[in-house]
Every structure is written in structure tokens, then in C-alpha cells.
Amino acid sequence: MARSSRHSSPQFAGQRTHPVDEVLPVGKLTLYGFQHVLAFYAAAVIVPILVGNALGLTHEQLVYLINADLLTCGIASIIQAFGIWKIGARLPLVQGVTFTAVSPMIAIGLGAGGGVAGLLVVYGAVITAGIATFLFAPFFSKLVKYFPPVVIGTILTIIGLTLIPQGLQDAAGGAQLIGHPEYGSGKNLAYALGTLLFILAVVRLGKPYLSSLAVLLGLIGGTAVAWFFGDVDFSAVGNADWFGVSTPFHYGMPKFELFPIIAMVVVMLITMVETTGDVYAIGEITRKRVDNATVANALRADGVATVLGGVLNSFPYVAFAENIGLVRMSRVMSRFVVVAAGVFMICLGLLPKVGSVVAVIPHPVLGGAAVSMFGMVATVGIQILGKVDLREERNALILAVSLGAGLLPSAVAPFFDRMPADVKAILDSGITLGGLTAILLNLFFNVLTSRKSMEIDWDDIEDGEDGEDGEAADPHGPPMGVPTR
């Protein structure tokens, strides 16, 4: 993991305000903020859909999860970008439910009986893990050197590889069809493949802005085709209210059970590594100096957002890498654009009809889109691993053994079925098991030998702000330094 030197924050030549802290006119804030929402929306709603479907929730319960997620996303993004006290990085970072928690939450929920009963145990674990994240944030920010690219790249690759089967299961028709003739039918696979091909076509033929919306357009297009053939029922949308507020503990008081809490704390440890990488990445893109305090503030925001998620019927939150790419592409660096996006998300979260529309997306269409998104998560991990010297035996072993551990729960499910339910809640997740393996092996192979980690030279970045002729360089130019997620 890259880490920063301890200097004061650089300023752009001839500018008193860093582009990150620039307050744009209302019109631009609205336009650019809505663009962030569009780029983020599909990934934002897919986690509550996957978890809700896996736990066997009703359509109405699923709609409530989606709206609660959007509402909390908006609040969390504002906290992260605007900042309150020592909470929030004050960088253009959008907060969303982490993919890392999908498999562990499903395992915890099903272990507690599924449905609402399973959700209550999940929420108890989420709230406790959020509090732990908040308290541990300042200490974790000083441990950045113990999470080099080999660990982050391995964890992201495992996340993608273990979530892809979830997408493929939806492509076949969803978990509720397993054992039925419709599961894996040609029609379901046609919807999934058609959605995926549509996404690929938009990326290939569309302009950069359109490409950033490819997944969202794929979901809309796939649902439209399924509706044309009579496989989508919008009747529930008409019955949904126009306005509704997600009330705290809507499903009842959370249940706090030890082993699910341990599992979720491990998940948050992994997401802290993920957020740390995202903070350094956005720092490089915006040329805004990042130090341990910035990382600690970002992690505190993750903790607060995760506690809010458990209270407002949502899930754990993390800085979203998808929108970091949008910042780089659009060259709009103002954190107040993300604040505007947060306001939009809050408004969407107060409209149950919007959530109801999302909830009717057919499983195969969702699966086709999910395969592309989860595959991209794995690709980002592989991209980071490309910067690692895998010819070095220790790094190669960290990757090899961690991948094996990550695939174990899905490859040999009976092994975990024989474990006590509480232990299974911790270990029966490829993301948790593989991530822990990567962290521990790195400690064993690299930390104990005091090997140096990769650094960002912020002085080089600051020097790069001035052109050779002494004129100020474009503040929205390409990022410098070590490539990170």
C-alpha cells in the first residue's frame, strides 16, 4: 500500500483554493452530482437485491432495503466528502455498500434462519463492526505499510472471483429456482447474455460518458426486453407509495451474536484496506496530499456510515472505486459535487416507487450485469497485482495460497457444513477466508523481515504541478505517482 510523506497540503500554482475544495456554481454542482449518481446507481442497489433475494425477502421488504440503502448512501457520501470534525476525508469520495460483505452477510443471515430473522442478526453484526471501525480508525491508518499492493490486489481479485458465482446464479434464474426446471433455462440465459452483450456494446461503441453508464443502461434495456416478452410484472410499482422514510430498526431490534460479529469485524478490516487504497488513489488523481490523518478520517466516516446502515436497515459502507474513475475521466475534482450527489441519493431513497421499479428487475438481467461488475472488481485486483514482483517467491505464495483459501467455501461446501454454525458464519465466506489469509501471510513473509513498502513521493507530485516553463500545469491533468485502486 502506498503511503504519504508528512508535509503540508500542496496548493496549485496561482490558486488559493485547491480544486478539491472549490465550490462550483449550482448548475454545475447539479449536473456533475447527478452524473455521479448515474455512474454509481447500479452498483449501489445490487447488494441489497442480492442479499434480499438470497434471504428470501418479499418484494415489499426488498423495496424497503433498496430505499434504505439509497438514503444511507446519500448521508454517508455527504459525511465523507463534506466532513464533520474528524469524520470524513473531505475528498470527492462516494460511499456505497461494499461488495466484500455480500457473501458473509448471506452466510450470517441464512445461518440465522433467513428472512427477517436473518436480517436482525446481520444488523447486530453490522452495527458492532461499524463501532469497531470508528474506534480502530486512527490506529489502522498507521498500519498502512503492512498492506502493500500484493495484499490489496489479492483481496480484490478474491472478491471478484467469489462474487461472480452469485451473478451466474442470478443469470440462471436466481437461488429460488434451484431444483426447478426453469433454473438455467435457455430463456434465462438469453436474458443474461443479452444484457451482458448490450453492456459490452455500449462500452465499445459509446462515448466515455455513455460508457460510464453502460451497466445502468444494460439493466434498463434487459428489463425492457423481458417486459416485452411478458416476464416482468410492474403491478407492484403502482401499489408502492410515492414518498416514504426509512425508520430506524424497521424490522425490529438487532440481535447481537458473537460469531457473526467477529465475521463482520473481519469484513470491515478488509474494507478498511480497500478504503485506504481508494483514499490514496483519489489523492493521486486530484493531487491532494494524503496523510495518516486523512486516512483515519475516511475510515471514521466508514464506521459512522456502517453504524447508520445497521440502524437504518442497510449494510456496511466503503468508499466506492467506481466513482474514482469518474473523477479521473471528468476531471471535476470538487468534493462538493459528491455532496450534491449525496443530496440526490437521499431524495431517491425517500421515493419507494423508485425502489419498487428496481426490485422488479428480472434475476437473469441482474445476473448478466453483475457478472460484468464483479468481473471488473477482479480485474482491478489483477491490475494491482501487475505492479507486484510475482517472480519473488514470497509474493507468489501469498497470492497462490490466498486464492486457494478464497475458493475453498464454494468448492468444498460440505467441509463447512460440518462446522458449528457460529464458526461457519466466520469461515464460510471466500472473501473473509481469502482476505485473512493474504493479510496473515504478508505479516509472516514480509513484515517480519522488515521489507520496504511502496511509497508515494508527494514532493514529486507537487513539483509536477509546474510546467517546464514555470507555468502552472493543468490541475485536472492525469494523476501521478504509483498506480493504485
Confidence band, pLDDT 50/70/90 cuts, at residue 267 = confident
Q: Is the pLDDT confidence value at 79 over 90?
A: yes
pLDDT at 87: 92
484 confidence band (pLDDT: 50, 70, 90): very low
Highest mean pLDDT among 31-40, 64-73, 95-104, 465-474: 64-73
Instruction: State yes or no: pLDDT of 470 exceeds 70.
Output: no
Mean of pLDDT over the chain: 77
Do residues 70 and 348 lie in contact, with contact meaning Cβ atoms separated by under 8 Å?
yes
Q: For residues 335-364, give the mean pLDDT.
A: 81
Opening angle at CA 345, ends 88 and 305, nearest 5: 35
Reported as a single tens digit per residue, the pLDDT across 100-152 is 788 788 888 888 888 888 889 999 999 999 999 999 988 887 777 777 888 87
- Indicate the SS3 state at residue 159: helix
pTM of the model as a whole: 0.69
pLDDT value of position 39: 61
Percent of residues, the chain, with pLDDT higher than 90: 9
Cβ atoms within 10 Å, residue 468? 6
* Phi (first) and psi of residue 89, to 5 degrees: -75, -15
Q: What is the pLDDT of residues 279-321, one digit of tens each?
A: 877 777 777 887 888 889 999 999 999 999 999 988 898 887 6
Task: Encode pLDDT of 404-453 as tens digits.
Answer: 888 887 777 677 777 776 666 667 677 778 888 888 898 888 777 755 55
Cα dihedral across residues 273, 455, 338, 366: positive or negative:
negative
Give the helix/strand (H/E) hosting 30.
Answer: helix 26-54
